[in-house]
Copies of this chain bind each other. A is one copy, B any other.
Amino acid sequence: MRQTTITAEDAAIAAGFERFYELLRRLTPRSELSLTAASTLRRLERSGPHRLCELHAPEGVSQPAMTQLITRLEKEGLARRGSDPDDGRAVVVTITEAGREAVARRREGRTQALAALLEQLPVEEHAALVAALPALDHLSDLLAS
């Protein structure tokens, strides 16, 4: 693993993000979905059905944990197990309509809480956030690849 030089600016960004991470954590309603469950459902929503083996690594959990999570999601009607005609071992996981709704509810809860904070922000800070969105998205893409 290569060592990256940490500049003072990087450290400042990291410190800001650290506080911010906890802000988001508090903003997220303790809802029906665990962190991993929500993240997995969003992945299924964003990029379609996946084999089980493609899910556990990016979510940072073990394969049995993903098996159990999908079992729970299936029991709650939020996801569905299917099979791959080309590979008898594979299980293909798909999000259901109820799953999409659960994701939307969670997102809306957080958006609502966030909007209440955002409207208290000075306009120039609000604008700075909007201006930073492409960078945030880009960062997420970098890790995904």
Contact = CB atoms under 8 A, between A and B. Distances in A.
Copies in the complex: 2
B9 A60 contact: no
A18 B110 contact: yes
B129 A20 contact: no
B129 A132 contact: yes
Nearest to A119: B4
A30 interface: yes
Nearest to A19: B140
Contacts of A2: 116
A46 to B, nearest CB: 9
B4 A137 contact: no
A33 interface: no
A65 interface: no
A20 B114 contact: no
Nearest to A14: B111
Contact of A135 (B7, B10, B58, B128): B128
Interface of A: 2-7, 9-28, 30, 35, 39, 42, 58, 60, 107, 110-112, 114-122, 125-126, 128-140, 142-143
